[in-house]
Amino acid sequence: MSKIISDNKIPEVITELESMHPEAACALDHGTRFQLLVAVMLSAQTTDVSVNKVTPALFDKYPTAEAMAKADPLDIQEIIKTIGLYKNKAKNVVGLSKILTENYGGEVPGDYEELVKLPGVGRKTANVVLAEGFGKARIAVDTHVFRVANRIGLADGKDPAEVEETLMARLPEDQWIRAHHLLIFHGRKVCHARKPDCAGCGLKGMCVYFEENHGSAW
C-alpha cells in the first residue's frame, strides 16, 4: 500500500483538520518579534505550556534585546529553570540578544539565513519566526508536524527537512502557515505519539496510518 495519499485528497484532509481544530494558532505567548523568537527557541524539547509559565517573568524583566543582552545568564537560568535544557538556553538567549543589539539595532531580522546564524536558532525556530512574526509563507516541521504528516500520508519523509520540502510542494503556498498550526494541534490533541486516538479522529477514512492499522481505506 502507498504511504502517501493522492494530491486530490489533500483538500479534504485540510478541510477536516480545520473542522476539528478551528482554534489552531501559535500557542506561545509573546508581544513582539523578539519575544516570539525567544519563546520559540525556549520551546525546543519543552512544551509550549511550560514556556508560557516562565516567559511572563522573563519578558517583564527583559522585554527587549537590548535589556536581555545585558542580563547575567545565571539570572536567566533562575527564571527559566523549570524548562528543559535551561542552562544552554539561558546562554543562547543572552548571546542572540547581544548579536541582535550589535548587528540589527535590536530588531529580529526577517531573513532565514540571518536567523539561523543566531545561537540556538535552527530551521524550525527560524521558520516559525518568519511565519508568525513576518507573515512569510513557511512550514515549520516540529515533532508533531513530522509525525502527523507522515502518518496521514501527506508526506513520507525520513527527516524534518524532507517533510518540509514535501509539504511545501503538495500544499498551496497560502495554506502553509495554517497547515502548520493544524498539524501541530492534531498531534497534540488527537494523533498522539504513543497512542493516537484513531477512533475519535475525523481523518480515519482518509489516513494511511488508520488504513494500515485498522483496515479502513478511502
2 pLDDT exceeds 80? no
- Count Cα atoms within 13 angstroms, Cβ side, for 147: 15
**Residue 14: which CATH number?**
1.10.1670.10
pLDDT tens digits for 94-147? 999 999 999 999 999 999 999 999 999 999 999 999 999 999 999 999 999 999
For residue 130, tell me if it sits in a domain: yes
pTM for this model (two decimals): 0.90
Whole-number Å distance between alpha carbons of 69 and 159: 34
pLDDT tens digits for 31-51? 999 999 999 999 998 999 999
Q: Which three cell numbers stand for residue 91?
A: 546562554
Determine whether 142 is an active site residue.
yes
**Residue 81: which CATH number?**
1.10.340.30
Q: Which of 60, 72, 142, 204 is catalytic?
A: 142
39 neighbors 51 (Cβ within 8 angstroms): yes
135 neighbors 36 (Cβ within 8 angstroms): no
Position 215 scores a pLDDT of 72
Question: In 3D, which of 141, 135, 116 has the Cα closest to residue 173?
Answer: 135
Q: Which residues form the domain of 198?
A: 7-24+140-214
Do 107 and 145 share a domain, yes or no?
no
Do 144 and 210 share a domain, yes or no?
yes
Q: Which of 124, 136, 158, 174 is catalytic?
A: 124
Do 157 and 88 share a domain, yes or no?
no
How far CA 218 is from CA of 135, 200, 203, in Å, comes to 35, 17, 10
Sign of CA dihedral 15, 20, 23, 25: negative
165 neighbors 149 (Cβ within 8 angstroms): no
pLDDT tens digits for 159-218? 999 999 999 999 999 999 999 999 999 999 999 999 999 999 999 889 999 988 887 544
Question: Of 134, 150, 185, which residue constitutes the final position of a domain?
Answer: 134
| Residue with the three cell numbers 527557541 | 41
105 neighbors 77 (Cβ within 8 angstroms): no
Do 99 and 178 share a domain, yes or no?
no
* Arithmetic mean of pLDDT over the chain: 95
With a pLDDT cut of 90, the percent of the chain lying above it is 93
Phi/psi for 153 (5° steps) reads 110, 15
Position 216 scores a pLDDT of 54
Cβ burial, residue 131 (10 Å; 0-12/13-18/19+)? buried
44 neighbors 125 (Cβ within 8 angstroms): yes
Whole-number Å distance between alpha carbons of 6 and 42: 37
